[in-house]
Amino acid sequence: MQRRFQMVDVFHSGNFTGNPVAVVLDSEGLTTEDMQRITRWFNLSETTFLLSPGTPEADYRVRIFTLDRELPFAGHPTLGSAYAWKLATGSAKTEIVQQCAVGLVPVAFEGDRPAFAAPLLLKSGPVDDDKIAEIVSVLRIRRDDIVSVEWADNGPGWVLVQLASAEAVLNVDAIKYWDNRIEIGLVGSCPAGHETAFEVRALFSDAFGGIVEDPVTGSLNAAVAQCLLANGRATAPYVAAQGTKLGRAGRIYVTQSDGDIWIGGETRTLFSGLGDF
């Protein structure tokens, strides 16, 4: 059957500068195996599949797939899915609710800049010495280069590593292959007066054990914000940069309201069409 899809650029600062996500809008009837196969064919970091909500509080339900697994939550797929749903339905709502495996996620719109409320961390706190040693090996840095390291897992499994500066973050030259699955978030402060407050990088294992870098990562930035704001290492609002090392210019807008942390970015559908699948 024919199904609508959109290719959405999320967290961009100009066309083709953010992180693309493929959104399949008419996903009823697709099996898990179908969704994984379609995701591999699109060959993007994530593809999402929109379904009828299972609760009246939600506007839609989404399933989020990487090339090798399904995720309970991910940030840029959430914003891309919300934007695609709003565009496809013609909804005038400025606040919608997404249902996914971690529960209900509010998404608020300010023009073409949707923002999601950061979900609670599934795992936080100290990282054991063996894990730190593994991270140091993967990043090819020294242990004393690390300012702080902590679990910041809101679905993908992030460990957050703070380095002394944005320059130190950009200078990291990680190894290309690691036997164990690993998800590392890097953050470092930008110089005073810079247009962004922090430089962020996301390094993780692909389906074959290779270490790859994500252009712009909403889930990681949500976890970064939660950790930095909780410990007084940042104040909101602020803007983070990501994708610099890959030639992208992602911009992530972090705000805080009534105790909730919101992660937003400029979002735009660049391609849309019908697929026969």
Residues that are catalytic: 46
Roughly how many angstroms between the first and final C-alpha of the chain, as a whole number? 6
* Bridge partner list, 162: 148, 187
Nearest CA among 17, 16, 79, 81 for reference residue 48: 81
* Residue owning tokens 């249902």: 99
Q: How far apart are CA 50 and CA 85, in angstroms?
A: 8
List CB contacts of 89: < 8 A, sequence separation 6 or more: none
* Bridge partner list, 265: none
8 Å CB contact between 252 and 108? no
8 Å CB contact between 225 and 231? no
CA 105 to chain centre: 14
